[in-house]
Amino acid sequence: MNTTQDMNWFKSSYSGGDGDNCVEIALLSTTVHVRDSKDTTLPPLSASAAAWSDFTAYASATRAL
């Protein structure tokens, strides 16, 4: 298993310039990890890739409302 330090974390292009007021995402083959960029020492929230896909699709759809 990968540790959080070994994961390739990235932020959304919508995060803005300050970089400390957003979440970071790490994609693995079957799991997506989400963490707070303000305290990266906290354990990440983990979800299946399918659940993450459903969540982002829902968030994108409701944003347009």
pLDDT at 57: 94
> What pLDDT score was predicted for residue 19?
60
Supply the DSSP symbol for 3. -
| Alpha carbons 37 and 58: distance in angstroms, whole number | 23
Q: Residue 21's pLDDT is what? A: 73
Domain ranges across the chain: 22-36+44-64
Distance CA 44, CA 10 (A): 13
pLDDT at 12: 80
Regions of the chain where pLDDT drops below 50 = none
Task: Give the CA angle between residues 51, 52, 53 to the nearest 5°.
Answer: 90
Instruction: Report DSSP letters for 17-55, one per residue.
Output: SS-SSSEEEEE-SSEEEEEETT-TTSPPEEEEHHHHHHH
